[in-house]
Amino acid sequence: MLRKGVFFMSIKKVSPDVFKIYETSQVKLKTAGNIREIQFTAGTNNHCPIQNISKDKYMDKKTGGIKERKKYTNRYQTPKSVRKSINKLMDLIRCNATEPSHCKWLTLTYANAMTDHTKVYEDGKMFLRRLQRYLNKSKEIVDSQKSFKRITVAEPQGKNHDNSWHLHILLIFDVPAPFIVNEVIADLWGHGITDCLLYTSPSPRDISGSR
């Protein structure tokens, strides 16, 4: 489950003349579908800006101030844990959704606040069953478009929406995805507003609650 309120480092395309990778640099190459990601360390920072005082407090060496450590009720709330989860999800999507025309990106929301994640899971499962039945019965959809794989993400919308859960579902077909109007998706879902969009390679903002 992924939460809101996460800050991401910015990524931009730069000229190869801007930086140099030396023989001693530590380089990591990651391949995820059509994406190649290179990370490298130009140097190491041996200076730690803080000094631990206790398990609850630390000192800022620059200012000399004593500060309280921010506490989380569980490890999944920490920015580091959320960022790691989102990165794994991004890799999963990029590895499986290499042809955008073969995919559909669905968002399923609730008209009333839904905070029962078990109910959300069951509703999502029943929606996928109804969707499969719709595809099987549709005469306008060819047989090769009636089976799909999916990646599902459940996410709370935050305090402004009463922490109500909603679902993102990426449908992945072996052939170009069938045309399905959003009204059909809304009827199959039956719990609130839906979006049925063409797939483009998602950014972390698409998955981390930027709506």
Give the per-residue pLDDT at 76: 45
Q: Residue 164: is its pLDDT beyond 80? A: yes
Q: What tokens does 120 get?
A: 């959300």
What's the mean per-residue pLDDT of the chain? 80
Q: What is the pLDDT of residues 137-156, one digit of tens each?
A: 999 999 999 999 999 989 88
Give the per-residue pLDDT at 51: 84
Give the per-residue pLDDT at 72: 57
The whole-model pTM stands at 0.66
Mean pLDDT computed over 167-193: 95
- Cα distance between residue 54 and residue 71, in whole Å: 14
CA-based nearest residue to 159, from 108, 208, 113: 113
- Cα distance between residue 86 and residue 41, in whole Å: 22
CA-based nearest residue to 142, from 176, 171, 170, 169: 176
b/e 24-58 (16+ beta carbons within 10 angstroms → b): eeeeeeeebeeeeeeeeeeeeeeeeeeeeeeeeeb
Percent of the chain with pLDDT over 70: 77
Q: Which of 8-22, 125-139, 163-177 has the highest mean pLDDT?
A: 125-139
Which residues, in sequence order, are bridge partners of residue 150? Answer: 171
Q: What is the pLDDT of residues 22-35, one digit of tens each?
A: 777 778 888 878 77
Q: Using an 8 Å Cβ cutoff, are 40 and 24 in contact?
A: no
SS3 label, residue 144: helix
- Cα distance between residue 40 and residue 201, in whole Å: 24
Q: Are strands 50-52 and 35-41 parallel, antiparallel or unpaired?
A: unpaired
Q: Residue 13: is its pLDDT beyond 90? A: no
Q: Are strands 149-156 and 165-172 parallel, antiparallel or unpaired?
A: antiparallel
Give the per-residue pLDDT at 93: 86
Tell me which of 11-15, 21-25, 183-187 is least confident: 11-15
Count of other CB atoms within 10 angstroms of residue 11: 9
Residue type, 36: R
- The interaxial angle of helices 117-137 and 182-189, nearest 10 deg, is 130
Q: What tokens does 66 get?
A: 């004593």
